[in-house]
Amino acid sequence: MSKVYIVPVGHVDSEVLTRIAPCLEERFLFQFKILPVIPVPAQAFNSSKKKYLTSIICENIRDYLPFDAKYLLGITDVDTFEDSSSLLYNFSNPEDVVALVSTQRLLFRGSREFPEKDIFFQRILKETTHEIGHLMGFRHCFNNSCVMYFSYSINDTDKKETFFCHECEKKLNLIQNS
């Protein structure tokens, strides 16, 4: 069975990590293992934006890639950005084996904190599932209820499902059976 490792970067709630791993195992039929926490790399911080550059964090977590890993998924609590986007929940490169999900903006709805733990967890589940989908070669889906739909806002994340649509599910089955 293929292994996917989850590496917490910074202060990530351990309860979220222990809940997310079995949910992802069920969706992907991979074994998910949680690695020890690593610090957020200081060189990723952009003082003018007051955010962390995702590509630098991904480069850094790549150093923690176990030899038997199919993929490495970083989860961080810091606010992230990439040059092309100031609002970013997650980041991956389909040609790579590393992805990153930031939980920072998943905590909020507008300017108010969104305290419901289950909704916060559902958001994290959607974004981690989405990023692993990208690592497996999936592109964004045009079905706005599919987990592979691009979230332009937190409302899009809330509206989409935690699962793949019928068409994406067929692709997933083909990948898993090959």
Any catalytic annotation for residue 113?
no
The dihedrals phi and psi of 53, each to the nearest 5 degrees, come to -75, 120
Among all chains, which residue has been given the structure tokens 């958001």?
Answer: 123
Angle at 18 between CA 17 and CA 22, to 5 degrees: 105
Q: Could you give the CA distance from residue 170 to residue 178 in angstroms, rounded to a whole number?
A: 12
Which residue is catalytic, options 25, 82, 116, 131? 131
CB 24 within 8 A of CB 50: no
Residue 55: name the closest of 84, 82, 95, 73 by CA: 82
Question: Are β-strands 80-82 and 51-53 bridged in parallel, bridged antiparallel, or unpaired?
Answer: parallel
- Residues classed as catalytic: 131
